[in-house]
Structure 1
Amino acid sequence: MSSRTTVPLVAALALGIGVALFHGVPGLEDFTAGASSTASSAGPVTSDLDFDGDYFTVTGKAHIDHKDAKAGAVTYCPLDDLERATCAYGKLTPELREHAQASGRQEIDVDPAGWDVNGEVDIPALPDVTGSKAYHGWFWNRSHLVADSLGGDPSHENLVMGTRTQNVGSTQQDGQYAGGMAHTEQAARDYLDSADAEGCPLYYAATPRYTGDELIPRTVTVDIRSCNGSIDEHVEVANTAAEYAIDYTTGSFEPTR
């Protein structure tokens, strides 16, 4: 395949190294977001985005930024000069989905930018999100921009460091994870597995958003639109974990309570 390539909480950036201190959870007023990739990581970072879902929010209709997206293929944008993934996109089809299902879950033998520190943690449930559950396990995941279940590769260009809750959220629907990146991934799987997808590709693009030279994105934006318009969303996914402070340069983290 060819190659080409903010978080609702109170963020306190300590000593200019980009440590975001999260007292709240998505949907609360004290949950603020990282800025664009050109912003400085020194000083407090705020955003007018309101993450009112399970580590994600739908902010409008999809932005179709990649006019060269090809049906049945995923394109990966090149790594930047800090070796960070920058975007992945394509027009997903039932055939691509079927191939992914036949291939099964792929082993990931590469590490995304910033991968260094990890550990087992307890992340509390979100009090204002119905069905949210507490989590015990690894804090960081190797998070796909385009999921392997949708035809994405386990490559540097398709991976970022994501908190467990960024990756899958804290809720489930019908036994499947439903928050974070899983919100759009499950919508895509359901669509591609339906008769509606025959001859009607699904535009899907994921773009990590970094602040300055930080190696870990503060958010990932996902644009998803079916050719018939039945799905049409621009989604912001928060790369956070409730009650944890995160250094987005080093990947270190600590509980705030």
Structure 2
Amino acid sequence: MKKLGLLGLTLLTALSLSACQSNSTQKSAASLTASKTTEQSTSSAPSHASTSSSAVTTTDETPDAILKRLITYTNEKSAGPTQNYYWNNGKAHLSGFETMKPADYHFAADEKGRSGIARAVLTFSEFEASKGARQGTPLDPPAWPKNSMTSIHFGLTNRTYHGFLYNRSHSIADSLLGKFSYRSQYNFTTGTRSQNVGADQNGGMRAAEELAENYWKTHENSDQTIQYQTTPLYNGSETIPRGSVVDEKSSDGKLDVEIVVINDAEGVSIDYNDGNEKTGTAEPSKAPETTQSSSSVATQDSSDNSAPATANGWTTAAQGMVFVSKSNKYYTAVVNPSNYQYVSLTKAQEMNANQGRSNAYAKN
């Protein structure tokens, strides 16, 4: 009887251990399956997030893909994915700098006589020397069209710009290259006002320029250099570029970026063969606007359509209108109008602007 009891106890213990081991194995297998599922989910999530981010902020497209995208945006009169007339296309893609030294620059026409690739090896001293005042007078780019007064309503800011449609847009800015940026007409393209400064004065070409400017502000008196390259992109034989690709890379690698700028204006139909506005709303100006600069901040009072007149190198405000500078001084005539806000005198006074003293670039 004792032997039977002992045998039963032994069998019971064995069955219990077997059940425990079975449960442990099943738990382990379940845990491994869950782990694999989690790993697959985690590994696919970044890929999805990366794709989503690329579509909105940063991409890495080829020149052909960029041009195709620019044609789509400009045909749609779109401000692009940032709503500010530019997007980030990843790291810089530079060429032609092998023999260039610090402070060297090169501007040339393309095979059709249009402004081609502009290159410069920028230095801090050029940036420093350009501070305070424009270093020259913008030149007419090839095929500079008849300029017109127009209206551009910006979706990003919900504000409307009234003024000249086009700027003589630097490929390499005054603020970066100083007086040397005026040495060739091939450093200028016909750019819309929005291509030049975007919807909020910090987009378009300004977005690219500010990246280099901000680098110098954190590397004062530095021996570093920036390889800076701007490539206008044209559709076939059109004379007005659909946009530009700006590549910039510092010698220490801290700055390494490619910015694509869109050359159009929301709500404005442009014929890129000759620059004419297709809509019937544009009013031809007596003379084209004479300015573009990386520091330009021109806007026009959206409630007033009084156009300024240009003669003998000076642009004179219409009666009751003035030009307001960044230092909050107002003038009745200026040499470079898009360095100023063009507003009514009443508006200037509301802004607490004071009458400025006449100088070589502005007068009362």
Give the structure-2-normalised TM-score. 0.53
Q: Which SS does the other structure have where 1:136 is aligned?
A: strand
Q: Which SS does the other structure have where 1:104 is aligned?
A: coil
CA distance in 2, matches of 1:184, 1:132: 23
Aligned pair in 2 of structure 1 residues 236, 192: CA closer, same or farther (>3 Å)?
A: same
- Count of aligned pairs: 210
Considering Cα pairs closer than 8 Å and 6+ residues apart, tell me whether 1 or 2 has the greater RCO.
Answer: 1
Please tell me the residue identity of whatever aligns with 2:140. D
Q: What is the correspondence of 1:6-155 to structure 2 with a 5 Å cutoff?
A: 6=67, 8=70, 10=72, 21-27=75-81, 52-68=82-98, 69-76=100-107, 78-101=108-131, 104-108=134-138, 110-126=139-155, 129=156, 131=157, 133-151=159-177, 152-154=180-182, 155=184
CA distance in 2, matches of 1:122, 1:224: 32
Please tell me the residue identity of whatever aligns with 1:70. K
Q: Is the 8 A contact 2:119 2:229 kept in 1?
A: yes
Residue 24 (structure 1) shift: 4.0
CA distance in 1, matches of 2:246, 2:161: 24
Residue 132 (structure 1) shift: 6.3
The aligned residue for residue 263 of structure 2 is: 239
The C-alpha deviation readout for 1:159-185, integer Å capped at 9, x for no partner, is 1100001111111xxxxx310000011
CA distance in 2, matches of 1:195, 1:134: 37
The C-alpha deviation readout for 1:58-116, integer Å capped at 9, x for no partner, is 0110012123332122222x2134321101112211112123337634112x3112212
Aligned pair in 2 of structure 1 residues 24, 157: CA closer, same or farther (>3 Å)?
A: closer
Q: Is the 8 A contact 1:8 1:25 kept in 2?
A: no
CA distance in 1, matches of 2:244, 2:168: 14
Aligned pair in 2 of structure 1 residues 125, 93: CA closer, same or farther (>3 Å)?
A: same
Q: Is the 8 A contact 2:246 2:259 kept in 1?
A: yes
Residue 194 (structure 1) shift: 2.7
Question: Tell me, which stretches of 5 or more residues in structure 1 are unaligned?
Answer: 1-5, 12-19, 28-51, 172-176
Residue 220 (structure 1) shift: 0.3
Residue 121 (structure 1) shift: 1.0
Q: Which SS does the other structure have where 1:153 is aligned?
A: helix
Aligned pair in 2 of structure 1 residues 157, 122: CA closer, same or farther (>3 Å)?
A: same
CA distance in 1, matches of 2:230, 2:160: 27
What is the aligned-residue identity percentage?
30
Aligned pair in 2 of structure 1 residues 207, 10: CA closer, same or farther (>3 Å)?
A: closer
Q: Is the 8 A contact 1:223 1:233 kept in 2?
A: yes
Q: Is the 8 A contact 1:93 1:197 kept in 2?
A: no
Please tell me the residue identity of whatever aligns with 2:103. G
Which of residues 166, 169, 180 in structure 1 aligns to 2:204?
Answer: 180
Aligned pair in 2 of structure 1 residues 104, 205: CA closer, same or farther (>3 Å)?
A: same
Say which one has the larger Rg: 2
Residue 136 (structure 1) shift: 1.4
Which of residues 214, 228, 237 in structure 2 aligns to 1:190?
Answer: 214
The C-alpha deviation readout for 1:23-55, integer Å capped at 9, x for no partner, is 54322xxxxxxxxxxxxxxxxxxxxxxxx3510
Question: Tell me, which stretches of 5 or more residues in structure 2 are unaligned?
Answer: 1-66, 282-364
Q: Which aligned segments of 4 or more residues in structure 1 are displaced greater than 4 angstroms?
A: 7-11
**Alignment RMSD:** 2.4
Please tell me the residue identity of whatever aligns with 2:80. P
CA distance in 1, matches of 2:270, 2:176: 29
The aligned residue for residue 216 of structure 1 is: 240
Aligned pair in 2 of structure 1 residues 195, 25: CA closer, same or farther (>3 Å)?
A: closer
